Each structure stands twice: as C-alpha cells, then as structure tokens.
Amino acid sequence: MPLVLTPLPNIPLIRPGDNLADIFLASLNAAHVALEDSDILVLASKIVSKAEGRLVNLAAVTPTPEARELAARADKDPRLCELILRESSAVLRVRPGTVIVEHRLGFVCASAGIDHSNVAAPETSEVSKDLGGLDWVLLLPENPDRSAAEIRARIKSASGKRIGVMIVDSHGRAWRLGVAGACIGLSGLPAIVDKRGDPDLFGYRLQITLIAAADELAAAASLVMGQADEGTPVVHVRGFPYPLREGSLGELLRPKDQDMFR
C-alpha cells in the first residue's frame, strides 16, 4: 500500500478545553475520509498545547536570579529564560540567541520547545482579561504520550477503529541546518523499528539498523503541515509500512552514555 498523507481541512483555532477528538472526527468527515484500522493521525504539538491550556503570559512570570543570569548569557528575555529553566532538566549549551536544553521529557531541543509563533491570548482565560494585549508563549504538552493516548482512546470509542496518534514538533538537528518534524509523543504505533538480524538484498544480516519510524513519519507530515500560516495542523496517514503496536517517546531517546555530543 502506498503511503498517503492527507492534511485535514477546517481545523479551527484551538482554545483551552476544546475536545480535539471531536474536532478531528468532524474534519475527517469534511474531507470525506473514513477511518480504517492502522490509520494514523499526526498532530502538531501546538494544537495539543493550546487545548491543554499550556499558554503562559510573560507578564505573569517573575524571573529568578538564575534566569536573569541565563538571559544575560543568551541575550534573551529573562522571563522567557525562567520558563525555559522550569521546562528543562539541564542547560547544555548557551550562546547569544540560543539556549539548548535537555527538556524535562528527555529530549534535547532549543528553548525547551517554547513557542511564540501563532500564539494569541486565550479567549477563555481569566488572565487574558487583564493581560490580553501582552506577550503570550506556548509550552509543549505536559505529557505528550498521555495526550496522544487520550485522543486515541476517544477516537476509538467514537469510531471503533484501531489507529495510531502521534504528536510532533519542529526540532533542529546536530549535524544539519534547518528544522524538521520530530515525534515528541505517540500512542498505538512504533517509535523505533528494529531491523537488526534482518537480511539485506544480498543476505547480509543487519547489525545496527534501528529505524526511527516515528521521526521519519513526523518529518513527512510536517512537510505537509507547513511551518508558518498554512493552518493545517493535523495530517491523516494511511499506508504506514510497519505494523502498529504500543510505543512511547522513550524508545527514541538516546541514553546519555551513548551520546557523543553531550
């Protein structure tokens, strides 16, 4: 079966408390896509964060001395640096304009994944009445694996179909320029596919081949989603070339003793 990625239409601007599963099912119906077993929905982390109320107004943040020191080194807003520290387990690299951290979820990324783009004051937030005109930022979901599992369960309850759900974010890469989609949470599909021991075309048994299948799909879906004002934060996937199973972000995280770049 060919791999087919379909961006879903009519996804509204997401607000805190929105039922994402219902929104996705309505969008699938609008796109005339009937869910089948082994389909996958790939979600931009931003809409999950918004639904979970992960919006923070910088005006409500009081930076600590540690955040002020980091801000001076990185040439960033001390309030933003305070949030970066709260969302991180370690600061790995700092240079003007860039802070690389180990996120509390275990992966390495810039600025703890905190985002300014396409973020506005939440209409349903009480704090927005006082701080509505000021600077809002968006944190990554609290627990993306759990978020994916909850959305998947609601969709299965409504449709009866066994699908996978993946949450993706844009990450830089240590060896290359530019950002690409990366998986930060998933449910119902493999993050890693282990090909060790499988034969190649000439009968050689593969020794070290672990396929980051979730990241490969995340990058493909991000290409369809876009990175700016496209407004397509959900992609329906059919034809994923590996059997679905339970998976988690932890499969993708390289153990620190194997990380040559720390």
Give the CATH number of the domain where residue 65 resides.
Answer: 3.90.1660.10
- The pLDDT of residue 206: 85
- Residue 98 covered by a domain: yes
- The pLDDT of residue 34: 95
Same domain, 113 and 227: no
Same domain, 62 and 183: no
- What separation in angstroms does the CA of 44 have from each of 1, 41, 170? 25, 10, 9
- The pLDDT of residue 125: 46
**What is the reported pTM?**
0.91
The β-bridge partners of 258 are none
pLDDT of residue 127 exceeding 50, the answer is no
pLDDT of residue 156 exceeding 70, the answer is yes
Contact 237, 5 (CB under 8 A): yes
Structurally, the chain folds into a number of domains equal to: 2
pLDDT of residue 144 exceeding 80, the answer is yes
CATH number at residue 214: 3.30.1330.100
Same domain, 248 and 163: yes
Same domain, 35 and 151: yes
Report how far residue 146's alpha carbon sits from residue 153's, in angstroms, rounded to the nearest whole number: 10
Domain encompassing residue 109: 55-138
* Residue 208: Cβ within 10 Å count: 6
Same domain, 15 and 63: no
- The pLDDT of residue 204: 87
- Residue 260 covered by a domain: no
pLDDT of residue 85 exceeding 90, the answer is yes
pLDDT of residue 157 exceeding 90, the answer is yes
Q: What are the counts of helices (DSSP H) followed by strands (DSSP E) for the chain?
A: 7, 12
- Residue 259 covered by a domain: no
Q: Model confidence over 69-80: pLDDT tens digits? A: 999 999 999 999
Residue ending a domain, choose from 112, 138, 164? 138
Same domain, 28 and 61: no
The dihedral over CA atoms of 27, 32, 36, 42, expressed in degrees to the nearest 10, equals -40
- Residue 100 covered by a domain: yes
Residue ending a domain, choose from 138, 165, 200? 138
Same domain, 45 and 147: yes
pLDDT exceeding 90 applies to what percent of the chain? Answer: 78
Same domain, 171 and 45: yes
Region 97-119: mean pLDDT is 91
- The pLDDT of residue 131: 46
Same domain, 40 and 119: no
